[in-house]
Amino acid sequence: MGALVSLVAVAVLALLAFVAVASDDLRLVFGAVIPGVAFAVFLVGIRARVIRWARAPVPFRIPTTAGQQKSLPWVKNSELDNPSGTLGVVGRMFLEVLFFRSLFRNTRVELITDREKVNYIGTKYLWAAAMAFHWSMLIVVFRHFRFFVEPVPQAVEIVQYLDGFFQVGVPVIYATSVLLILSLGYLLLRRLADAKVKYISLPTDYFALYLLLAIAISGFLMRHLEKVDIVNVKAAIAGWASFQLVVPEGVGALYFIHVFLVSVLLVYFPFSKLLHAPGVFLSPTRNLANNNRAKRHINPWNPPIIGHTYAEWEEEFHDKLVASGYVLDKE
């Protein structure tokens, strides 16, 4: 049910942008005003969430560990899985952010009924799909800088050339565009087909996948099916930088659908679980060294504890204790 609701929601959003093309006033709203407001919400929302996380007190070391902690000299510790210092944390974060090291070791449980045994099997499909999606998304977003910057940075041109290295199709089909759609399709089918994953999936999980998939497909079709005048698009975007709301000429409904869905994603991003992108750097389960045995960590926000000795307790309840026949130490 959650998958269907999310699919309908994304379809309605796309239809809303499609209908707006018929009106010149709405073309300006959907083509310039909404993207500008969405980008502002995106920046303010991320800033607010990051500041909130940064201010959260973390007096203790609570890293997620998957290896031997550093203790005695003759016990070999796992510095990447259970870092004891800053260098280990940097190495762990590097492998986690760029290569999803913890997901690489993902396992699935298999029940062998005839032998009454539970078996844990390594599975790399989810890791491969996650790597393909995140890296493709990063490269696609980086390639889009050619629409916002003039002249186009050389780094963007190099990435764009390597992305279309195989020279398939006219215009060239970028490898990351195909990988992005395929990886999102796998992640969506996994939630729909795997009963265990489907059981714990929320409508928001499906909504994010449907929205990203719709953005990727509309962008792909806009490049290869409904040709868009890139010069006019760049000119319009340059006008946005100087607060001149301009809708590019020579664009069709697919352009407005794509831009509007991206705007929805920008607004949705700071308030969803998609914010794990910057959040991983502020996660105390990842960015702290596990040195609890080597150093004592005291919570500075603990209220002062006023001691109550036994002698003070006897003095406070003296009369009641005597009346009950209790033998006091002082007497």
Inter-CA distances, 104 with 39, 51, 131, 169, 208, Å: 34, 31, 10, 34, 23
Q: Is residue 318 part of a domain?
A: no
**CATH number of the domain that residue 200 is part of:** 1.20.950.20
Looking at every residue in the chain, the average pLDDT score rounds to 86
Which pLDDT belongs to residue 330? 64
Q: What is the DSSP letter of 129?
A: H
214-247 pLDDT per residue, tens = 999 999 998 888 777 777 777 777 766 666 777 7
Instruction: Return the structure tokens found at 131.
Output: 């790597």
Which pLDDT belongs to residue 138? 95
Residue 111 identity:
L
Q: Is residue 321 part of a domain?
A: no
Q: Is residue 163 part of a domain?
A: yes
Q: Which residue has the tokens 């977003």?
A: 141
**Element (DSSP H or E) covering residue 50:** helix 34-55
Inter-CA distances, 144 with 3, 137, 177, Å: 30, 11, 12
Q: Is residue 328 part of a domain?
A: no
Of 83, 43, 82, whose CA–CA distance to 267 is shortest?
A: 43
Three-class DSSP category at 106 = coil
Per the structure, the count of domains in the chain is 1
Q: Is residue 313 part of a domain?
A: no
104-163 pLDDT per residue, tens = 888 877 777 777 788 777 788 999 999 999 999 999 999 988 888 778 889 989 999 998
Cis peptide before 151 (omega within 30 of 0): yes
Q: Which domain holds residue 62?
A: 2-291
Q: What is the DSSP letter of 274?
A: G
Q: Is residue 54 part of a domain?
A: yes
Three-class DSSP category at 111 = strand
